[in-house]
Amino acid sequence: MSQSADLARAQQRFARRQRLVRWRSWLPWAIGGSVVLLGALVVWLFYFSSAFAVDGVRVSGADTVPVATIEQTAAAPVGTPLAKVDLGAIADRVRSIPAVADAQVTRAWPNKVVIVITERVPVVVVTDGTRYELVDATGTLFKTLTTRPSGLPEAKVTGPRREQTIRSVVTVSAALPDSLRAQVGSISAASPDSITLNLAGGVKVVWGSSDDSARKAEVLSVLMKRKATVYDVSAPDLPVTKGEKR
């Protein structure tokens, strides 16, 4: 009787070891299958379900550009899973707005597209006598007005090489110290090489080209200690004054 009981217990132990061996052999497959299933669930959740679909746009950095214009131009695909949205394409579309210098687009989980814009800052207003165009520090014309805005140097640009002339005017304006820029009533430019600053009281500064603008500004600041009607710094090593008052 004792031998039969011992044999039965031995058989049970053997059976348990066999089940344990089989379970251990299947464990990697079970874990792998669970990982695959979980991965498939995550992919479905983020890329195909509506749980994380775009339901709107959040815009920041807009001051002069209407938010509605940015949202319309961005054309964020509402209803599309956020993970599938082409952020680069949205940023490119927003950058096509003339007054936008740059745009950064990111995802804000679970459902928003975030657009952060950098607007162009006007440094000169260019006019042909009938309209006024705002120009930023890169020489880009980005907005046209029917009335002259205050607080900006006005540049009267003529001649065929208009874009190059405007860039030269911007370079000159950027080189002027604040104290001198405040005295500039307008800037006349018939070409990139013939820029003249028109100051109060009919005083003129012949600047020439935008080359060596920083040097010209230094020379002019010294030269203006002498009262004159014309200051010519087009050749900064050989400056000339006209109509000096003694």
pLDDT digits (tens, 9 = 90+) for 78-124: 999 998 999 999 999 999 999 999 999 999 999 999 999 999 999 89
Does the structure show a pLDDT above 90 at 160?
no
* Residues 133, 237 within the same domain: yes
Average pLDDT over residues 127-145: 90
Whether 139 contacts 167, CB under 8 Å: yes
Tally the domains of the chain.
3
Q: Are 123 and 152 in contact (CB under 8 A)?
A: yes
Please say whether the dihedral angle defined by the alpha carbons of residues 100, 105, 108 and 111, taken in this order, is positive or negative: positive
Name the domain boundary from 98, 119, 140: 119
Tens digits of per-residue pLDDT, 211-227? 999 999 999 999 999 99
> Largest Cα–Cα distance in the chain?
139
Do 103 and 8 belong to one domain?
Answer: no
Which pLDDT does position 152 carry in this prediction? 86
Whole-number pLDDT of residue 29: 54
Greater pLDDT, 38 or 215: 215
- What is the pLDDT, as a whole number, of residue 45? 64
Q: Output the pLDDT for position 42.
A: 58
User: To 10 degrees, what angle do helices 162-175 and 213-223 make?
Assistant: 50
Mean pLDDT of the chain: 86
Instruction: Single out the residue in 73, 93, 119 at which a domain terminates.
Output: 119
Letter string b/e over residues 76-112, b meaning 16 or more CB atoms within 10 A of that residue's CB: bbeebbbeebebeebbebbeebebbbebebeeeeebb
126 and 228 assigned to the same domain: yes
Which pLDDT score, from 0 to 100, does residue 22 have? 57
Q: How much is the average pLDDT of 145-164?
A: 88
Q: How far apart are the C-alpha atoms of 199 and 64, rounded to whole Å?
A: 30
Q: How many residues does the chain have?
A: 246
Question: Is pLDDT above 90 for 65?
Answer: yes
Which domain does 151 fall in, by range? 122-242
**pLDDT tops 70 at residue 14:** no
- Measured CA to CA, the distance from residue 81 to residue 232 in angstroms comes to 64
CB 170 within 8 A of CB 211: no
The lowest-confidence range among 71-75, 125-129, 195-199, 229-233 is 125-129
Token pair 């959040």 in the structure block, residue? 58
The closest alpha carbon to 92, from 81, 83, 102, belongs to: 102
